[in-house]
Amino acid sequence: MKKDNTPLLAQWPSIIAHRGASSLAPENTLAAFVAARQAGARAIELDVHLCASGDLVVIHDHWLDRLCALHRRVEEMKMRELSLLDVGSHFKNIYPQAYTESFSRERIPTLDQALETIGNDIFLDIELKLDSLSPLPLVHALKKCLSRHNRSRYIVSSFNPLALLAWKGIGGHTTAAIYCPELSVPFYMRHKECLYLSGADIKKPSLETALASPGFETGKKPVLVWTVDTPSTAKLLLEGGVSAIITNRIQDWQS
């Protein structure tokens, strides 16, 4: 796979669907990826873990409490266990108007399943989820998976500088450093520590960080801001020099 040396791929879209169309279907599920395509998305952000059986799975949280009411870590479970869990029913509590009973059948997809569903024409922002000091198994598995699917339209992002450095070390594509002031994030990753330590090509601040920063964090490196759910704020950021925004409401920006 040829390495891409540009900060952002040519024709990178300015609007990215956060975990798929996550206000239309349960986040990071095949239903959310299908809904994003149907809404006209040209780019999708998703989250990837390496589970105990060595499979790459698409889910945001390290712990399953929020999505499945199960107090277990994704990385400690095997794919055959994860594949039985309902990750769709919780959507009823967040977006009751959009909920359908079919969402109760949504399961945690493998990255292979997600890539097959999304299609090769969609740009991807792949967030590496790592809470250990051993990033190599994750990045090697990711590179093999992306090569297997002949993917080239993607960037790799993370809060964790070790994950980004490991990805760069195996000749990986362009990287984005994520940072935000949320208390759930370790204090040493709330500002630009990941950016400085990893030397990432792209800044990926939260909306709160971008709005509090002169120039919305823009400068020499491209900026992707998350999570922007109002068109007026998106317009403000994009006109201010931000390269792209990540949204839960892809349907509001697509024709």
Residue range 114-134, pLDDT digits in tens: 999 999 999 999 999 998 899
The C-alpha R_g of the chain, in whole angstroms, comes to 17
Name the token pair of 58.
Answer: 């698409």
**Distance in angstroms (rounded) separating the CA atoms of residues 98 and 76:** 32
Residue 1 binned pLDDT confidence (cut-offs 50, 70, 90): very low
**Distance in angstroms (rounded) separating the CA atoms of residues 125 and 182:** 21
Which amino acid is residue 158, in one-letter code? S
Burial 55-91 (b: 16+ CB within 10 A, else e): bbbbbbbeebeebbeeeeebbebebeebeebbbbbbb
- The region of weakest confidence among 5-9, 33-37, 58-62, 70-74 is 5-9
Burial of 140 (0-12, 13-18, 19+ CB in 10 A): middle
- Specify the 3-state DSSP secondary structure of 52: coil
Asked whether the beta carbons of 29 and 105 are under 8 A apart, the reply is no
- Specify the 3-state DSSP secondary structure of 167: helix
Structural domains in the chain plus CATH codes: 15-252 (3.20.20.190)
Q: What is the DSSP letter of 73?
A: B
Q: What percent of the chain has pLDDT over 90?
A: 88
Predicted local distance difference test score (pLDDT) of residue 7: 67
pTM: 0.95
